[in-house]
Amino acid sequence: GAVVSQHPSWVICKSGTSVKIECRSLDFQATTMFWYRQFPKQSLMLMATSNEGSKATYEQGVEKDKFLINHASLTLSTLTVTSAHPEDSSFYICSARAVGAFFGQGTRLTVV
Amino acid sequence: GENVEQHPSTLSVQEGDSAVIKCTYSDSASNYFPWYKQELGKGPQLIIDIRSNVGEKKDQRIAVTLNKTAKHFSLHITETQPEDSAVYFCAATEGDNQGGKLIFGQGTELSVKP
């Protein structure tokens, strides 16, 4: 299947700082990528749809100014968690669509 | 919008037995139904998917069935092995855009006992 690479796999940051997570489609182009958030023992919750060359579409309840999404090319989307707080600690996962829907390895964010 | 319900939430089987996980969806326009296996600390891995023009699909020990009339689909794992132990998620597209966003079920924690 298609490969989606996410980096970093884990990050620890101080409260108030910003963290950038990268999502790359390695062997295919993706005009659309998706960002999910997952709390322990829970399902994946869609945060936003990242569209190449245009603004992201955010799900209801997701703060667009806090979770900045940039889809600058057909193979790269980034999620920046701005002014992170402990409640932002979570597992963030990106997805891109090829023939199927493939996911990155996820990023464990811990805000201390 | 789309709503996906998944059952059971936990499933324990003996090695070699079969496991069945069921999902229902609400959006009759949905046309793409993937299944994912997620191991602890990792991203979901696509294991099989089915599109609305097909009623059944099989890949070795894994099969998926789709009943569009009843709006439900199921994952069947035969001859289970301990390495099948993981959390499994079903998903369905919102609307008829196969490239659109996926809505996930709540997950099933499968435990295969040797």
Q: Is A51 on the interface with B (CB under 8 A)?
A: no
CA distance B109 to B105: 12
Q: How confident is the model at residue B74 (pLDDT cuts 50, 70, 90)?
A: very high
Q: For A64-82, write each residue's pLDDT tens digit.
A: 999 999 988 899 999 999 9
Give the distance from residue B84's alpha carbon to the nearest chain A alpha carbon, in angstroms: 18
CA distance A57 to A50: 7
Question: Within a 10 A sphere around the Cβ of B16, how many other Cβ atoms?
Answer: 11
- Whether B109 has a pLDDT exceeding 80, the answer reads yes
- CB contacts < 8 A (A, B): 46
Strand partners, B12: B111
- Whether B100 has a pLDDT exceeding 90, the answer reads no
pLDDT value for A30: 87
Question: Within a 10 A sphere around the Cβ of B6, how many other Cβ atoms?
Answer: 21
Q: Which residues of A touch B105 (CB under 8 A)?
A: 43
Q: Which candidate from B32, B43, B107 shows the least CB-CB separation from A103?
A: B43
Any idea which residue has 């790269």 for tokens? A76
Q: Which residues of A touch B107 (CB under 8 A)?
A: 42-43
Any idea which residue has 């963290």 for tokens? A19
Please report the residues numbered 43 through 82 in chain B whose beta carbons come closer than 8 angstroms to any beta carbon of chain A: 43-46, 49
CB-based contact B42 A46, cutoff 8 Å = no
DSSP for B27-57, please give it. -TT--EEEEEEE-TTS--EEEEEEETT-SEE
Say whether B99 sits in a helix, a strand or coil. Answer: coil
The C-alpha R_g of chain B, in whole angstroms, comes to: 13
Give the distance from residue B78's alpha carbon to the nearest chain A alpha carbon, in angstroms: 22
- Whether B99 has a pLDDT exceeding 80, the answer reads no
Q: How confident is the model at residue B96 (pLDDT cuts 50, 70, 90)?
A: confident
- Whether B98 has a pLDDT exceeding 90, the answer reads no
Mean pLDDT along residues B67-80 = 96
Q: How far is CA A71 from CA A1, A5, A17, A78, A91, in A?
A: 22, 15, 22, 6, 20
Q: Give the count of alpha carbons within 13 A of B78, CB side only.
A: 7
Give the distance from residue A21's alpha carbon to the nearest chain B alpha carbon, in angstroms: 14
Q: Is B94 on the interface with A (CB under 8 A)?
A: no
CB-based contact A103 B34, cutoff 8 Å = no
DSSP for B3-34, please give it. -EEEE-SEEEEETTS-EEEEEEES-TT--EEE
pLDDT value for A1: 66
pLDDT value for B111: 98
Please report the residues numbered 30 through 49 in chain B whose beta carbons come closer than 8 angstroms to any beta carbon of chain A: 32, 34, 36, 41-46, 49
- Whether B48 has a pLDDT exceeding 90, the answer reads yes
Q: How confident is the model at residue B36 (pLDDT cuts 50, 70, 90)?
A: very high
Residues of chain A with pLDDT under 50: none
pLDDT value for B50: 94
Q: B45, exposed or middle or buried, with CB in 10 Å at 0-12, 13-18, 19+? A: middle
Phi/psi of residue A55, nearest 5 degrees: -70, 150
pLDDT value for A2: 83
Q: For B2-21, write each residue's pLDDT tens digit.
A: 899 999 999 999 999 999 99
Question: Within a 10 A sphere around the Cβ of B26, how many other Cβ atoms?
Answer: 14
